[in-house]
Chains A and B, each alone.
Chain A
Amino acid sequence: DIVMTQTPLSSPVTLGQPASISCRSSQSLVHSNGNTYLSWLHQRPGQPPRLLISKVFNRFSGVPDRFSGSGAGTDFTLKISGVEAEDVGIYYCMQTTQFPYTFGGGTKVEIK
Protein backbone atom coordinates (compact mmCIF):
# COMPACT_ATOMS: atom_id res chain seq x y z
CA ASP A 1 0.00 0.00 0.00
CA ILE A 2 1.12 3.59 -0.61
CA VAL A 3 1.80 5.38 2.65
CA MET A 4 1.01 9.10 2.75
CA THR A 5 2.89 11.20 5.28
CA GLN A 6 1.79 14.73 6.09
CA THR A 7 3.71 17.43 7.90
CA PRO A 8 3.25 19.28 10.12
CA LEU A 9 0.69 17.58 12.36
CA SER A 10 -0.48 20.98 13.53
CA SER A 11 -0.12 24.47 12.11
CA PRO A 12 -1.06 27.49 14.23
CA VAL A 13 -1.43 30.45 11.88
CA THR A 14 -2.19 34.13 12.30
CA LEU A 15 -5.20 35.34 10.33
CA GLY A 16 -4.11 36.65 6.96
CA GLN A 17 -0.79 34.84 7.05
CA PRO A 18 0.16 32.00 4.70
CA ALA A 19 0.13 28.32 5.60
CA SER A 20 1.77 25.38 3.91
CA ILE A 21 1.19 21.65 4.31
CA SER A 22 3.44 18.96 2.93
CA CYS A 23 2.45 15.48 1.80
CA ARG A 24 4.90 12.79 0.83
CA SER A 25 4.03 9.41 -0.67
CA SER A 26 6.03 6.21 -0.21
CA GLN A 27 6.10 5.70 -3.97
CA SER A 28 5.48 7.75 -7.07
CA LEU A 29 1.86 8.76 -7.65
CA VAL A 30 2.28 8.94 -11.42
CA HIS A 31 -0.30 6.60 -12.91
CA SER A 32 0.43 4.47 -15.98
CA ASN A 33 -1.78 6.90 -17.91
CA GLY A 34 0.54 9.78 -17.04
CA ASN A 35 -1.80 11.47 -14.55
CA THR A 36 -0.96 12.06 -10.90
CA TYR A 37 -3.94 11.41 -8.66
CA LEU A 38 -3.24 13.45 -5.56
CA SER A 39 -6.08 15.32 -3.90
CA TRP A 40 -6.47 17.64 -0.93
CA LEU A 41 -9.52 17.70 1.31
CA HIS A 42 -10.63 19.89 4.20
CA GLN A 43 -12.72 18.75 7.13
CA ARG A 44 -14.29 20.91 9.78
CA PRO A 45 -15.37 19.34 13.11
CA GLY A 46 -18.55 17.34 12.77
CA GLN A 47 -18.63 17.77 9.01
CA PRO A 48 -17.79 15.46 6.11
CA PRO A 49 -14.62 16.14 4.15
CA ARG A 50 -14.78 18.67 1.33
CA LEU A 51 -12.73 18.38 -1.83
CA LEU A 52 -10.38 21.29 -2.42
CA ILE A 53 -7.92 20.16 -5.08
CA SER A 54 -7.54 17.16 -7.37
CA LYS A 55 -4.78 15.92 -9.68
CA VAL A 56 -2.20 17.93 -7.72
CA PHE A 57 -3.25 21.47 -8.61
CA ASN A 58 -6.83 21.54 -9.98
CA ARG A 59 -9.08 23.57 -7.68
CA PHE A 60 -12.56 22.13 -7.30
CA SER A 61 -15.59 24.23 -8.14
CA GLY A 62 -16.18 27.00 -5.60
CA VAL A 63 -12.81 26.68 -3.88
CA PRO A 64 -11.21 30.09 -3.28
CA ASP A 65 -8.05 30.86 -5.20
CA ARG A 66 -6.11 31.38 -1.98
CA PHE A 67 -5.78 27.56 -2.04
CA SER A 68 -3.14 26.16 -4.37
CA GLY A 69 -1.58 22.75 -4.88
CA SER A 70 1.78 21.84 -6.32
CA GLY A 71 4.26 19.01 -6.51
CA ALA A 72 5.13 15.93 -8.51
CA GLY A 73 6.17 12.32 -8.07
CA THR A 74 6.23 11.78 -4.34
CA ASP A 75 6.25 15.31 -2.88
CA PHE A 76 3.25 17.58 -2.78
CA THR A 77 2.26 20.83 -1.10
CA LEU A 78 -0.96 22.63 -0.28
CA LYS A 79 -0.63 26.37 0.27
CA ILE A 80 -3.11 28.84 1.67
CA SER A 81 -2.01 32.32 0.66
CA GLY A 82 -3.76 34.07 3.53
CA VAL A 83 -5.60 32.04 6.15
CA GLU A 84 -9.17 33.05 6.94
CA ALA A 85 -11.21 31.99 9.96
CA GLU A 86 -13.26 29.54 7.90
CA ASP A 87 -10.08 27.66 6.92
CA VAL A 88 -9.60 26.08 10.35
CA GLY A 89 -9.94 22.33 10.51
CA ILE A 90 -8.03 19.29 9.35
CA TYR A 91 -6.50 18.95 5.90
CA TYR A 92 -5.90 15.57 4.32
CA CYS A 93 -4.01 14.53 1.22
CA MET A 94 -5.32 11.46 -0.58
CA GLN A 95 -3.84 9.32 -3.31
CA THR A 96 -6.11 7.56 -5.80
CA THR A 97 -3.41 6.39 -8.20
CA GLN A 98 -3.42 2.87 -6.83
CA PHE A 99 -5.79 0.70 -4.80
CA PRO A 100 -6.18 0.79 -1.88
CA TYR A 101 -6.68 4.54 -1.92
CA THR A 102 -4.88 6.02 1.07
CA PHE A 103 -4.94 9.24 3.06
CA GLY A 104 -2.35 11.20 4.94
CA GLY A 105 -2.78 11.39 8.69
CA GLY A 106 -4.08 14.95 8.55
CA THR A 107 -2.81 18.42 9.44
CA LYS A 108 -4.74 20.56 11.87
CA VAL A 109 -4.85 24.24 10.97
CA GLU A 110 -5.82 26.55 13.80
CA ILE A 111 -5.73 30.25 14.45
CA LYS A 112 -3.08 31.57 16.84
Chain B
Amino acid sequence: EVQLVESGGGLVQPGGSLRLSCIASGFDFTNSWMNWVRQAPGKGLQWVANIKPDGSEIKFVDSVKGRFTVSKDNAGNSLHLQMNSLRAEDTAVYYCGRGLSGYNTVDIWGQGAMVTVSS
Protein backbone atom coordinates (compact mmCIF):
# COMPACT_ATOMS: atom_id res chain seq x y z
CA GLU B 1 0.00 0.00 0.00
CA VAL B 2 1.28 3.45 -0.94
CA GLN B 3 1.50 5.41 2.28
CA LEU B 4 3.01 8.46 3.98
CA VAL B 5 2.95 8.73 7.76
CA GLU B 6 3.97 11.91 9.56
CA SER B 7 5.12 12.14 13.14
CA GLY B 8 6.77 14.59 15.51
CA GLY B 9 4.07 17.19 15.88
CA GLY B 10 3.23 18.82 19.19
CA LEU B 11 3.13 21.98 21.26
CA VAL B 12 6.18 24.24 21.24
CA GLN B 13 6.86 27.72 22.60
CA PRO B 14 7.54 30.64 20.28
CA GLY B 15 11.19 30.64 19.30
CA GLY B 16 11.44 26.89 19.83
CA SER B 17 12.23 24.04 17.45
CA LEU B 18 10.50 20.92 16.26
CA ARG B 19 11.37 18.17 13.80
CA LEU B 20 8.73 16.44 11.75
CA SER B 21 9.29 13.10 10.06
CA CYS B 22 7.47 11.43 7.21
CA ILE B 23 7.92 7.72 6.56
CA ALA B 24 7.14 6.49 3.06
CA SER B 25 6.15 3.01 1.97
CA GLY B 26 4.79 1.26 -1.09
CA PHE B 27 6.54 3.34 -3.75
CA ASP B 28 9.96 4.28 -5.09
CA PHE B 29 10.86 6.95 -2.53
CA THR B 30 14.45 7.26 -3.77
CA ASN B 31 13.32 8.64 -7.12
CA SER B 32 10.45 10.75 -5.82
CA TRP B 33 10.22 14.50 -5.37
CA MET B 34 8.69 15.31 -2.00
CA ASN B 35 6.80 18.27 -0.59
CA TRP B 36 5.65 19.75 2.68
CA VAL B 37 2.31 21.57 2.69
CA ARG B 38 0.65 23.12 5.74
CA GLN B 39 -2.83 24.18 6.74
CA ALA B 40 -3.50 26.59 9.60
CA PRO B 41 -6.64 25.83 11.64
CA GLY B 42 -9.72 26.68 9.61
CA LYS B 43 -7.63 28.01 6.73
CA GLY B 44 -6.55 26.94 3.27
CA LEU B 45 -3.50 25.09 2.05
CA GLN B 46 -0.02 26.61 1.85
CA TRP B 47 2.91 24.94 0.13
CA VAL B 48 6.02 25.02 2.35
CA ALA B 49 8.89 23.19 0.66
CA ASN B 50 9.92 20.87 -2.16
CA ILE B 51 12.99 18.62 -2.37
CA LYS B 52 14.51 16.87 -5.35
CA PRO B 53 14.78 13.06 -5.29
CA ASP B 54 18.48 13.13 -4.40
CA GLY B 55 18.10 16.05 -2.02
CA SER B 56 20.37 18.25 -4.11
CA GLU B 57 17.87 21.08 -4.47
CA ILE B 58 15.32 22.41 -2.03
CA LYS B 59 12.80 25.21 -2.47
CA PHE B 60 10.97 27.04 0.32
CA VAL B 61 8.16 29.52 0.62
CA ASP B 62 9.60 32.89 1.65
CA SER B 63 7.96 32.91 5.10
CA VAL B 64 10.03 29.93 6.29
CA LYS B 65 13.34 30.57 4.52
CA GLY B 66 16.24 30.62 6.95
CA ARG B 67 14.15 28.94 9.68
CA PHE B 68 13.10 25.59 8.17
CA THR B 69 15.26 22.92 6.58
CA VAL B 70 14.30 19.74 4.75
CA SER B 71 16.25 16.52 4.47
CA LYS B 72 15.55 13.27 2.62
CA ASP B 73 16.94 9.95 3.79
CA ASN B 74 16.53 7.65 0.82
CA ALA B 75 18.07 4.68 2.62
CA GLY B 76 15.49 5.02 5.37
CA ASN B 77 12.55 6.05 3.16
CA SER B 78 12.07 9.13 5.30
CA LEU B 79 11.59 12.85 4.88
CA HIS B 80 12.24 15.39 7.61
CA LEU B 81 11.25 18.98 8.26
CA GLN B 82 13.39 20.78 10.83
CA MET B 83 11.58 23.86 12.07
CA ASN B 84 13.50 26.47 14.08
CA SER B 85 12.60 29.90 15.45
CA LEU B 86 8.95 28.92 15.39
CA ARG B 87 6.26 31.58 15.41
CA ALA B 88 2.58 31.54 16.27
CA GLU B 89 1.78 31.81 12.56
CA ASP B 90 3.53 28.47 11.95
CA THR B 91 0.71 26.74 13.83
CA ALA B 92 -0.80 24.31 11.34
CA VAL B 93 -1.28 20.74 10.26
CA TYR B 94 1.80 19.79 8.25
CA TYR B 95 1.36 17.31 5.41
CA CYS B 96 4.08 15.55 3.50
CA GLY B 97 3.23 14.76 -0.08
CA ARG B 98 4.77 12.91 -2.98
CA GLY B 99 5.47 14.80 -6.18
CA LEU B 100 4.00 12.96 -9.15
CA SER B 101 6.70 12.79 -11.79
CA GLY B 102 5.71 14.17 -15.17
CA TYR B 103 2.63 15.86 -13.78
CA ASN B 104 4.38 18.10 -11.27
CA THR B 105 1.65 17.78 -8.68
CA VAL B 106 1.20 16.18 -5.25
CA ASP B 107 -0.56 12.86 -5.64
CA ILE B 108 -0.05 11.07 -2.33
CA TRP B 109 -0.65 12.85 0.99
CA GLY B 110 0.02 11.84 4.55
CA GLN B 111 -2.56 12.25 7.30
CA GLY B 112 -0.74 15.27 8.68
CA ALA B 113 0.99 16.28 11.90
CA MET B 114 -0.33 19.10 14.07
CA VAL B 115 2.15 21.75 15.18
CA THR B 116 1.02 24.30 17.75
CA VAL B 117 3.25 27.25 18.58
CA SER B 118 2.04 28.89 21.76
CA SER B 119 3.28 30.03 25.16
Query: When A and B form their complex, what is the total count of cross-chain residue pairs whose Cβ atoms lie within 8 Å?
Result: 67
Chain B: CB-nearest residue to A104: B44
A102 to B60: give the CA distance in the assembly, Å. Answer: 12
Residue A77 is within 8 A (CB to CB) of chain B in the complex? no
A101 touches B47 (CB 8 A): yes
A64 to B14: give the CA distance in the assembly, Å. Answer: 44
In the assembled complex, the CB of B55 is this many whole angstroms from the nearest CB of chain A, namely 17
Chain B: CB-nearest residue to A39: B105
| Residues 87-112 of A contacting B (Cβ, < 8 Å) | 90, 92, 94, 96-97, 99-106
Main secondary structure of the interface of B (DSSP, over half): strand
Number of B residues, CB within 8 Å of A: 22
Interface 1/0 per residue, B45-71 and A, CB below 8 Å: 111001000000001111000000000
Main secondary structure of the interface of A (DSSP, over half): loop
In the assembled complex, the CB of A3 is this many whole angstroms from the nearest CB of chain B, namely 13
Interface hit among A14-22, A52-60, A78-86 = A52-60
B interface residues with partner A (beta carbon < 8 Å):
35, 37, 44-47, 50, 59-62, 95, 100, 103-107, 109-112
Nearest 4 interchain pairs by C-beta: A101-B47, A48-B109, A54-B105, A54-B103
